[in-house]
Amino acid sequence: MLLPATLASYIFDSPSWLGLTLCIMTCVSVATYIGSYFYLLCKDRDALRSERYSIQKLAIEKGLYGDNIMGTVDLIEDDGSKLLSDHSSSSNEELNP
């Protein structure tokens, strides 16, 4: 909102104090945005990631694997090998006796 207002103040020959004030406010807001981005980049990278990525990362850390078509599956370790156990396997057994 500040950038169009700043440009409009110079296009429509408004008082110079208004254009200068809007220009300073625009520069401060852009500097704050860039400063906070680099602060979070150095201190907390997870805050910059999307919510979808964070939820998928949490699911992988909890041991749930899958996608939007298959759904989530648990990894079960049996005799040193890993087997996939589908959450909906009980409903499949009822349909196919």
> pLDDT digit string (tens) for 8-43?
988 898 898 998 999 999 999 999 999 999 998 888
Residue 64 and residue 28 share a domain: no
Is 71 strand, coil or helix? strand
**Measured over all CA atoms, what is the biggest interatomic distance in the chain, rounded to whole angstroms?**
83
At residue 75, the 3 state secondary structure works out as strand
Number of domains in the chain: 2
In a shared domain, residues 32 and 53:
no
Looking at the fold, whether 60 and 41 belong to one and the same domain comes out as: no
pLDDT digits (tens, 9 = 90+) for 58-94: 777 776 666 655 565 555 555 555 555 555 444 444 4
Return the pLDDT at 30: 94
Based on the domain organization, do 97 and 54 belong to the same domain? Answer: yes
The whole domain housing 9 covers: 1-45
* Whether 39 and 60 share a structural domain: no
Determine the pLDDT at residue 78.
54
Same domain, 41 and 63: no
Runs of H (alpha helix) within 1-97: 2-11, 16-43, 51-61, 89-95
